[in-house]
Structure formats: C-alpha cells, structure tokens
Amino acid sequence: MPDFREVTEFLKDTFVYIAIFVAIAFVFTFVMAVVPVAGNSMNPTLADGNMAVSLKFAYLISSPKRNDIITFTDADKKRYVKRVIGLPGETIDYLNGYLYINGESYIESFVDGKETNNFMFVDICDKTKCPDNKIPENKYLVLGDNRPGSQDSRDPEIGLIDKKQIDGKLIFRVWPIKELGKIK
C-alpha cells in the first residue's frame, strides 16, 4: 500500500499557507491599508514620504469627527490626506487667523502657528449648493494642517467632500520608524 503521509503533510502545509494568504488579502482589502503621504500639506503632523495605517471600515457605522485625519478620493481617482474641520450642519469661517464654527471661535493646536488665509463659508459653498449657509448632510469640510500649502476644501475642484468619497481614517504612522506611533 502506498505511503500518503508526505502527500497529506504537503496538503496540510499548503492549506495553512493559502489560509494565511487569504486572511492577509482580506485584511488589506476590507479592513486597513498602508497609505503613503505625498506632499507637505499635512505638515507638521505628517510629512512627505510618511506611511500611515488607514482603517477602511472606520466610517461604516459612524461618521467622521472633527480633527480626524482621513483619506479620500476625488472624481479623478486622486487620493488626498486631510483633516476634517467642518461637519454637516455647521458654518465654517476663517478670519484673522482664527477658525469660527457657527460663529464661535475654535482653537486649532495642530496648525503650528501657520496663518490660514481668510475665507467665508459662502466662498466654499455658494447659496445654490448650500441654501441655508450650512454644510449639507453627509458632506465635510477638510483642510490640510499646512494651510498655506494645501489643496483642500477651499479649492473649487475639491470643495466639500461627500462621506462616500472617504476611504478611511489614518490612525498610526509606520514610516519613518523613528516616528512610529499613533497619529494625533
């Protein structure tokens, strides 16, 4: 009678490797992604060349919160990394270096003293798109931390982003190694 122990052992090992591969593929397809940061629009929080882990499912059952750092994709399939500043139902203005949310001053600790050019909410979303002068439901205003050097919601090509455009929430920097850790 032939000895099938080697064949059986080979099949068991192969099954284990296939199961590991499928699990890894599942995680990187549906759970998280490693996202490269291109450009300096998120300085000083994130710099050009940084790599961060993004949770893809972060907003399936919840909504983005103010100051979350997110990735989103525009209509041309270009991916951006930005910070959520304005939430649905709010009016956001920036005057004399201060952020105003619904007319109340809000302190931003992450902009590192860099001046943000003045803008009014109506500059981002005119009365035809935002008749009540508030961010519509499922829309978000996003800005880069390096305000003078960021293409973000202030740019008419980006404007307010829809929740469906959001790919994930950045939670952890993995590169460079010396800066490994949670993103704030």
Catalytic (active site) residue 105: no
Catalytic (active site) residue 82: yes
Least confident of 39-48, 69-78, 114-123, 141-150: 114-123
69-122 residue pLDDT tens: 999 998 888 999 999 999 999 999 988 878 899 989 888 877 755 677 888 888
Strand ranges in the chain using DSSP code E only, listed in sequence order: 32-36, 51-55, 69-73, 79-86, 92-95, 98-101, 104-106, 139-143, 161-162, 166-175, 181-182
Q: Which of 41, 54, 150, 153 is catalytic?
A: 41
Task: Output the pLDDT for position 141.
Answer: 94
Q: Which domains does the chain have, with CATH numbers?
A: 5-175 (2.10.109.10)
Q: Which of 62, 63, 78, 82 is catalytic?
A: 82
